[in-house]
Structure 1
């Protein structure tokens, strides 16, 4: 989940979804893992490379006719790629309900000769698009995301906050959904790269398979981790990922593991004017948030994070809520540390329920690993970035970027230029964002990168990124991202020794870990029933037999509170 972004200027490194994401963290096949480090620790251990004498290698990215073909396809179809981004941006659909967005991405690939399979793991707005040539080996995977965020709607072109969608509730106004994490660009650039690489395979008669995984609900950290558990990603040799950011970069650090929990409290209905004996579930939520805030000082390390959203509470002051809840994200450096911190949060929920004398309904909705990076893969990514060059922004682009920065009250230096140096991760891991790409990284070597779709210093999950994603500058950066992805994939298809090296590093890094999904085998993910028109368009049925439907209802049976026997009538005698 991209709470921040990994693409900050080299002078101001930050960890986040994809820089923290991960990108490499050890020597390649020939290197040895530091003794005493488990595979989990090695995922973010800077000890494997000395920052003082590390220099990114060159010569990994090779010129080839196939690469020229792929890059040429992207150049010729740039308008179609940016058009796909703009279409998905306009839809701005929430996690688990990206019906139009998923179809737009799948249709783009289908028209290019890809075979589309819907809901392989069971989630209806996911798909796998496949193109094979020759022997079909190796298999290179691309990542497509398309979910938007609540509350970050923004009109195109404006450098002031101006929501495109505004919910004019007189008591609680809100802004609409928007692509404040740039997933419209993410999916569009990856789809464009996948089509370009398929063209290169076909034209130059190269063996291989391109697989594009359309994934739902990355912002809720649901889609990929569930599909990994279901085996949807099995068979890939290397997975190539990118994320819109604020500079042109890759790296080899890790990110945070995460557990997401929804807590709901069952109270009683009641009148706000007659509160005695009522059990307002809103009060239990308030008690929970107070308790989790109080544990931060003594129980949350620098790498830890606890944050929440109150999704439902009282709807009116004079109607006490019989059901109210909060949704928590708990992050830490490793799954073991997440489990400890998440248990403390669960204990707070139980304590709040006990204090308010209400039932507590707890549901785990996501549980993901930290990123397992690949150093040799990051070096391949960086070499291609340097050879192709950074996005070139116009004076108008930079003026727009500075306008956004002025609105945010930060330094007005526009969009980042140049390619950031490839650097080892910091000695101390201080935490950051999370992503369900991490679960993929433990079964498939995963490469990642970012480009400056939004100007330096701005934040993902904000209206600034929403607007920038459909700007001319955003278009420029996403097309360059597509070029990087395509070039990297062609190198993987044309250099079998490099694929072997990347896979050998991954095998060495996972040798000391018995990896398994953190989700239970019977895990039922959050899901939304698809509309009939979507089922018809995709050839699906609902329920589909893979996800339990309808989901279990939470219906409370809490009793009203007794305040004791009535006070006897008459005057109270004073003490003598």
Structure 2
């Protein structure tokens, strides 16, 4: 891409773009879910070694987490990558119709095959630029598994892996371009296991105490709680063990996972206490006992205005992703499978009037856009409490494509997804270059971060005794 504001670090991205597009495609072809990303991590590790990074594997007691570092002295820049997939989203790439590769398989329905590859491409470009210019500084690529519900970054933060980092930078695939709005919900996943007493459900039900009844009573209590929660709080649940498939046996054991979300850590703590009280009440009513185990937890995102302004400048200098007519044609085919509500949602989040004719994003969202509501959760949140952090959103899919859908997976190897991935690497690399070269920017980012911590001290939402759920499915 020719640009009168050409950043000298962009050429280092372009020099290795094809190798990292290949990495993204290989990870797409071997989708693995939280904490099982053995092949995906191996691909990332091999690429780190090939590029000359100093590699540390199995960090934070997680076999599929890896760190690669390059450079000497100076500020430390962390670039965060991910590579986990999602269950049930197997999909043939390049088709604008649902067609599973494996009906029981996994798929990259959130674009993490692109996320990790672009992050490492950016880290490699920073490494090469530091070496070429003889500038003191270190870049560190964090290969982070299990973002989808596993909270690996929270464990990494808890283990002190970001203590010497000056700034963390990352991105996420999207259908638009812009600096991420640093709002997200803190959450925790807690498994509640009820233990009762088995009995013959017809001959002697009075001798039994149903753990399944306890789970259902708990869910009823949680559902009644919804009326009395803050508007932006959320609670979801899933049965992990319903007690078996025999209805003529009183179920002696059952487990439900409660996913509790709140605007911040304080609100999360309050809701968790209420959910635990409901579990105790369900056990009392059913004559069972209850035990709980935290599976994962993440904090809400903390914004950093100086870094956001630096990333916005990089976006404005680079411009939108350079899509072509062939890209637009496939994107239009995908758009035919989306509802008007899907398409309108992305514009609503950007506080813009929907453009139902725009197949691929051709603009950079303004930094100071009104907040339109609707938030998810991410373990990047805990990194943002540990170190000043900034995140980009870059178009890799047709406008309005919802994440966690077959449509997102179908676009995971599209040429326009590759272009968006390389664009994201340039945005991140340019932002890192600005941070490394400017003592003023680093100091400003650090002050904003420390001021926030002074007002809202951080407590890791995962208990100290909880280990990463490596054996979890």
- Is TM (by shorter chain) over 0.5? yes
* Other structure's SS at 1:220 match: coil
**Ranges in structure 1 where 5+ consecutive residues have no aligned partner:** 1-61, 168-175, 531-576
Work out the CA distance in 2 between the residues paired with 1:430 and 1:343: 26
Number of residues of Structure 1 aligned to a counterpart in Structure 2: 453
Aligned residue number for residue 346 of structure 2:
none
CA contact (8 A) 1:252 1:378 kept: no
Aligned residue number for residue 289 of structure 1:
219
* Other structure's SS at 1:155 match: coil
Work out the CA distance in 2 between the residues paired with 1:384 and 1:80: 23
Work out the CA distance in 1 between the residues paired with 2:268 and 2:246: 37
CA contact (8 A) 2:35 2:150 kept: no
For residues 552-567 of structure 1, the aligned pairs below 5 Å read none
CA contact (8 A) 1:302 1:431 kept: no
- 1:288 offset after TM fit, Å? 2.4
CA contact (8 A) 1:272 1:317 kept: no
1:395 aligned to which of 325, 348, 351: 325
356 and 401 in structure 1: CA distance in 2 versus 1, 3 angstrom threshold: farther
- 1:305 offset after TM fit, Å? 0.8
**Ranges in structure 2 where 5+ consecutive residues have no aligned partner:** 344-355
Work out the CA distance in 2 between the residues paired with 1:384 and 1:373: 17
CA contact (8 A) 1:160 1:407 kept: yes
Aligned residue number for residue 212 of structure 1:
141
Aligned residue number for residue 445 of structure 1:
388
Work out the CA distance in 1 between the residues paired with 2:386 and 2:317: 29
Aligned residue number for residue 161 of structure 1:
98
CA contact (8 A) 1:255 1:433 kept: yes
For residues 218-233 of structure 1, the aligned pairs below 5 Å read 218-233=147-162
Larger Rg belongs to: 1
CA contact (8 A) 2:93 2:413 kept: yes
Over the aligned positions, Cα root-mean-square deviation in angstroms equals: 2.3
364 and 529 in structure 1: CA distance in 2 versus 1, 3 angstrom threshold: closer
275 and 447 in structure 1: CA distance in 2 versus 1, 3 angstrom threshold: farther
- 1:229 offset after TM fit, Å? 1.2
1:300 aligned to which of 229, 253, 276: 229
Aligned residue number for residue 103 of structure 1:
42
* Other structure's SS at 1:442 match: helix
Matched, 1:327 2:270: no
Work out the CA distance in 1 between the residues paired with 2:336 and 2:284: 48
Work out the CA distance in 2 between the residues paired with 1:129 and 1:520: 28
Higher RCO, Cα 8 Å, sep 6+: 1
Work out the CA distance in 1 between the residues paired with 2:361 and 2:238: 33
251 and 216 in structure 1: CA distance in 2 versus 1, 3 angstrom threshold: closer
- 1:287 offset after TM fit, Å? 2.6
Aligned residue number for residue 336 of structure 1:
266
* Other structure's SS at 2:454 match: coil
Higher helix proportion, which one? 2
Work out the CA distance in 2 between the residues paired with 1:521 and 1:315: 33
* Other structure's SS at 1:261 match: strand
1:84 aligned to which of 9, 23, 28: 23
Work out the CA distance in 2 between the residues paired with 1:98 and 1:251: 26
Matched, 1:492 2:435: yes
Aligned residue number for residue 446 of structure 2:
503
* Other structure's SS at 1:455 match: coil
Aligned residue number for residue 371 of structure 1:
301
Work out the CA distance in 1 between the residues paired with 2:248 and 2:122: 54
488 and 316 in structure 1: CA distance in 2 versus 1, 3 angstrom threshold: same
Aligned residue number for residue 469 of structure 1:
412
**Could you state the TM-score of these two structures normalised by the residue count of structure 2?**
0.89
- 1:217 offset after TM fit, Å? 1.2
* Other structure's SS at 2:290 match: strand
Work out the CA distance in 2 between the residues paired with 1:149 and 1:290: 28
CA contact (8 A) 2:320 2:361 kept: no
